[in-house]
Amino acid sequence: MPLYEHVFISRQDLSNAQAEGLIEHFGTVLSDNGGKLVDHEYWGVKTMAYKINKNRKGHYAFLRTDAPSEAVQEMERLMRLHDDVMRVLTIKVDAHEDGPSVQMQKRDDRGDRGDRGDRGERRERRN
């Protein structure tokens, strides 16, 4: 079966549990139509570059699926009809990458930053 990656944005006023519940709901839609949800990630609330439906932020979710195109089309149709989902992006891929997505790796790498040396110190002004 073809492999797909999906990213969808849901409304900012949902709780984290409700946003993660959407992932489970759409995974169920896929499995009911002959596909399967290989992996999923909840990326959290992020600020968007521009407002969508009067929302400045949104809950981002990432899905990796192995499903026939009919199942993906049905899931996308239901996502577009769902009041809480603002945007959907689906990409067909040749293979799923192992490990976390780039977005989750970015979050993990923040702890590896070195000390810049200027914390707590004030720079002198030159006159």
Helix (H, G, I), strand (E, B) or coil at 39: strand
pLDDT at 98: 77
For residue range 20-60, list pLDDT tens digits in order.
Answer: 899 999 999 999 999 988 899 998 899 999 998 888 999 99
Q: Which residues contact 84 (CB under 8 A, 6 or more apart)?
A: 10, 11, 14, 18, 22
- Between CA 90 and CA 18 the distance in angstroms is 21
Please list the residues that pair with 39 across neighbouring strands.
64
- Between CA 65 and CA 5 the distance in angstroms is 6
20 HSE (CA, 13 A, CB side): 8
Is the per-residue pLDDT at 19 higher than 70? yes
What is the average pLDDT score of the chain? 84
- In the chain, what are the domains? 3-96 (3.30.70.60)
For residue range 83-94, list pLDDT tens digits in order.
Answer: 999 999 999 988
For residue range 62-120, list pLDDT tens digits in order.
Answer: 999 999 999 999 999 999 999 999 999 999 988 877 777 777 776 555 555 555 555 55
CA angle 111, 56, 18 (to 5 degrees): 75
pLDDT at 121: 55
pLDDT at 119: 57
- Between CA 19 and CA 26 the distance in angstroms is 11
* Choice between 4 and 121, residue whose per-residue pLDDT is larger: 4
Helix (H, G, I), strand (E, B) or coil at 86: strand
pLDDT at 2: 86
